[in-house]
Structure 1
Amino acid sequence: MTKQRMKILLVDDDEDILEILEYNLVNDGFTVFKAKNGAIAIEVAKKVIPDLILIDVMMPGLDGVETCEQLRGNYDLRNCLIVFLSARGELFTQLAAFSAGADDFINKPIKPKLITAKIKALFRRRIIEEPKDVVFKVSGLTINRDEYAVSVNENKIVLPKKEFELLALLASSPNKIFKRKEILHKVWGDLEVGSRTVDVHITKLRKKIGEDHLKTMSGVGYKFETI
């Protein structure tokens, strides 16, 4: 996919921010669409299927987290990158964003050149880390990377994007111990999130797929253990 073909949807209730970001991204060769709230963003996203959505957290009506959750529930948008842009940088806000399916979180005030650089890095990483096996099965689990779908003993379960990516990573190499830093790098990239983020996602996964597979290696990391 070339840069000229990459489509970015900007979602913010601040017209000035939309104009500044649009100006910089268009000048850098991207095709840009805009929406001033979450409801409009969902409709636009369904029509244009953007490669990336840059979305504000605090908006009237549907906030960014709620909008992200709805976007992640749309099959046609399964490969879309979602980046949050917010003046609220508290840990709980970032955790809520990532739990909803965010790929990155950028703090305001906006720095257009930094945002463009992060967007390019996300696109590069997505191309480099394109998985070889789209569908694989292990110990009663079927994982479909293309559809972001997981089945446990043929019972389909729904996972937010980061939970899915974490499970897919661990299950891709059964019985291998993944260190926390490796997990953070491969699932969250260069984001400044703590190792506690991994623990939270592991806990949620255990509730959904059971306690048998995801094992904690004290002081080291985690592994997917076959039965």
Structure 2
Amino acid sequence: MPHILIVDDERDLAELIDFNLRAVGFSTRIAATGDAALVAAREQRADIILLDVMLPDMSGVEVCRQLRATPSTRDVPIVMLTAKSEEGDRVRGFEVGADDYVTKPFSVRELVLRLKAILRRGSTPQDAGSTLTLGPLSLDTTAHRFLVEGREVVLTALEFRLLEHLLSRVGRVQSRELLLEQVWGLSSHLETRTIDTHIMRLREKLGPARAYLETVRGVGYRIVEPGAA
């Protein structure tokens, strides 16, 4: 039974999420503060953490940063819950390792779909390990390491999956809808802006090789080798 840690100080909302997640077969735990969330995450490993940006004792962004800095919670998927006015916090959440976000007010059905998609990503059997290389880029899918010009660059689990998808399709444009379905595991009718934010963060991490990740206006993204015919 997948375990979801719900971190939100709005009691009514937290209980609504808790009720609906239990109804579809999840086990849950609620934490109303950042400190309580960090304790709960240590006491029982969650399959996903739902993390509100606005908490009474510390920001959700800081909670996310601490979770990512802790070995036992480093790879737990984190979904941020944000208000429409908190786009800056959402971006900062991605910067410290959040995997996805849901904007309040949200459909409980959409939330459940997103959580199930994340769980499917984690349970999908992976192909035999290999190393994808292109110019200065090297992605080792066995050791889960990414190097640029021989220097290791730390990626979140979702950034790694996104880069692996693009590197295995060099030169082929991937639409936002396709990425949402094949990388995120979500139906293409849902919000796609999160992809643009992840691409922006991924491009920054490519550093001197950022030109390899191209935006095709009005279509999507692709990995290319600059100067290649």
Which TM bucket (shorter chain)?
0.7 to 0.9
Quote the Cα distance in structure 2 between the aligned partners of 1:205 and 1:79.
Answer: 18
Out of 63, 76, 101, the position equivalent to 2:72 is 76
Q: Provide the residue aligned with 1:178 in structure 2.
A: 173
Structure 1 consecutive aligned stretches of length 4 or more whose deviation exceeds 6 Å: none
The reply to whether residue 14 of structure 1 matches residue 13 of structure 2 is no
- Matched residues in 1 for 2:131 and 2:199: separation? 24
Change (3 A) 1:186 1:94: farther
TM-score, scaled to structure 1: 0.75
Given that 2:148 and 2:206 are in contact with CA atoms closer than 8 Å, whether structure 1 keeps it comes out as no
**In 1, Cα distance between equivalents of 2:81 and 2:217:** 35
Q: 2:23 aligns with which of 27, 30, 41?
A: 27
Shift of 1:215: 4.9
Gaps of 5+ in 1: none
The answer on whether the counterparts of 1:215 and 1:225 sit within 8 Å (CA) in structure 2 is no
For residues 134 and 78 of structure 1, what CA distance do their matches in structure 2 show? Answer: 22
- SS in structure 1 of the partner of residue 9 of structure 2: coil
Please say if residues 82 and 90 of structure 2, whose CA atoms lie closer than 8 Å, have aligned partners that are also in contact: no
**In structure 2, C-alpha distance between the alignment counterparts of 1:198 and 1:168, rounded to whole Å:** 14
Q: Deviations over 1:68-97 (max 9, x none)?
A: 233233343354222122333554444333
**Aligned residue pair count:** 220
Match of 2:112?
116
Unpaired segments ≥5 residues, structure 2: none
Secondary structure, counterpart of 1:210 in structure 2: helix
> Using a 3 Å threshold, how does the CA distance of structure 1 residues 8 and 147 change in structure 2: closer, same or farther?
farther
CA RMSD of aligned residues (A): 3.3
Aligned to 2:197: 197
- TM-score of the pair, normalised by structure 2: 0.74
What is the CA-CA distance between 1:12 and the residue it aligns to? Answer: 1.1
Aligned partner of 1:86 in structure 2 is 82
**Offset, 1:54:** 0.9
CA spacing shift, 1:123–1:223, aligned 2, 3 Å? same
Residue 77 of structure 1 aligns to a residue in which SS? Answer: coil
Gap change, CA 1:36 and 1:147, over 3 Å in 2: farther
- Report what 1:107 is aligned to: 103
